[in-house]
Structure 1
Amino acid sequence: MARSDRLAEYRSKRDPSRSGEPVGRGLGAGDGDRFVIQRHDASTLHFDFRLQVGDVLVSWAVPKGPSLDPADKRLATPTEDHPLDYAEFEGRIPEDEYGAGTVVVWDTGTYRNLTERRGEQVPIAEAVDGGHLLVWLDGRKLTGAFALTRMRGREQWLLVKRDDEGADRRRKPAVTQPESVLSGRTNEELAGE
């Protein structure tokens, strides 16, 4: 199935007239390779890790959020692809809608695909389909290499920080920096509006 066709699942779960979420119409591949991590306080608080792959954002839900400690292995569960304009979405999804809760853009920036096989770069879509990718994030809160690997025989993946200059075993941005990099607001502030 073409990646753009996967937006059918995204659209089938939402009523954008009620939720305010983007519908993703009329967007092409855009410029560059973007990533976004959204802090989503829904039935449980989690972080949605999204990478631009062509004309969609391929997405994983990370319950504990990304860690800068290479010793931490974060569970990452794939979710449906999202439209590119979701990368800037912040808001409060009403209680009776899918994903009800508040969403802020916790981090955003660009990424570089570092995935290789036998010394040759693997295209990012192929790396996702193959269950292993390595990307370098240039974000406002996160920088450096992160690996995403599907666990054998399971749908879950692991998100792990590589040991490089962006690694920091003491800094815990998922806990200490809850605010949006776009608006400066927290999920709690959005919920109170």
Structure 2
Amino acid sequence: MSLVKYKAKRNFNETTEPVAGNPSTGKHIFVVQRHHATQLHYDFRLEIDGVLKSWAVPKGPSLNPSDKRLAMQVEDHPYDYKDFQGTIPEGNYGAGTVYIWDKGTFELMNPGNKSFDKEALLELKEGDLKVVLKGKKLKGEFALVHMKGRGENAWLLIKHKDKYATDEYNSEDYTPKRVKDAGLRYKEAEKKAATNRTKH
């Protein structure tokens, strides 16, 4: 995947989403954005090979190893998307509210003898990427595992059993009320606008 798909889906005259961005050398970042679009979901993004490899996680990430979260791989996003939050205007792809739910750096669990990016791309290609997240909310070991027989985009995001693992976890419990309310207000306004359009 490349940024071609990302750019083709967006009208940058209308949306403030970033067009590009070059990663700084050193640590690799991850970001989780709560995206209240047509369906509420969480976007899980890992900086690999200069872009943010991205998955939509309908139920949000979990620190409970028993929660095998469906993660649908979507188009790569530019590096600068790590800082994006706000509103994607109605009529645009992904219209809704975006909130940076967690952000930090990550390492590969099994660094290997290749460069970081080559090793990560190889694990992705093999359908089994193991990482260590160092965020404010998400910490410790996680695996992204490709689901065989479910199409190329279906993965599972799974927490490993480590000192950060917990028995119960719901991402929404760690989302500020003002963020939830803003998303609901946006969806309500969108619904009203759609109703008004059908009347005229």
Task: State the TM-score, normalizing by the size of structure 2.
Answer: 0.83
One-letter identity of the residue aligned with 2:161: D
Query: Which position in structure 1 is the counterpart of 2:94?
Result: 99
Aligned residues between the structures: 180
Amino acid at match of 1:125: L
Letter in 2 for 1:146: F
Q: For 1:46 and 1:190, locate their aligned partners in 2 and report how far apart those are by CA, in whole Å.
A: 12
C-alpha distance in structure 2 between counterparts of 1:50 and 1:16, whole Å:
21
- Do the aligned residues in 2 keep the contact of 1:56 with 1:83 (CA within 8 Å)? yes
Q: Is the 8 A contact 1:61 1:77 kept in 2?
A: yes
Equivalent of 1:125, from 121, 130, 135?
Answer: 121
**Which stretch has the larger CA shift, 101-110 or 152-161?**
152-161
Change (3 A) 1:64 1:169: same
Aligned to 1:188: 181
Which residue is 1:162 aligned to?
Answer: 160
* TM-score, with length taken from structure 1: 0.86
Q: CA deviation at 1:115?
A: 3.7
Rounded to whole Å, the distance in 2 between the matches of 1:106 and 1:130 is 29
Q: Give unpaired runs (5+ residues) of structure 2.
A: 187-200
Within 5 A, what are the aligned runs for 1:1-193?
6-24=2-20, 27-28=22-23, 30-115=25-110, 123-154=119-150, 155=152, 156-172=154-170, 174-179=171-176, 186-189=179-182
Measured in 2, the distance between the counterparts of 1:58 and 1:15 equals 21
Quick one: distance in 1 between partners of 2:178 and 2:50? 28
For structure 1, which segment, 74-83 or 122-131, has the greater mean C-alpha deviation from structure 2 after superposition? 122-131
Q: CA contact under 8 A between 2:104 and 2:134: conserved in structure 1?
A: yes
Q: How many angstroms does 1:31 deviate by?
A: 3.4
1:20-79 CA deviation, whole Å, 9 max, x = no partner?
Answer: 100005x25543110000000000000000000021000000000011111111000000
Q: Quick one: distance in 2 between partners of 1:97 and 1:29?
A: 30
Residues 83-136 of structure 1: per-residue CA shift (max 9 Å, x gap): 00000100111110000000010000000111478xxx9711111122111100
Structure 1: runs of 5 or more not aligned:
none
CA distance in 2, matches of 1:54, 1:29: 12
Bigger share in helix: 2
Percent identical: 44
Distance, in Å, in 1 between the alignment partners of 2:33 and 2:167 is 22
The structural deviation recorded for 1:169 is 1.1
Q: Distance in 1 between matches of 2:136 and 2:12?
A: 29
Q: State the 1:19 CA deviation.
A: 1.2
- Paired amino acid for 1:77: M
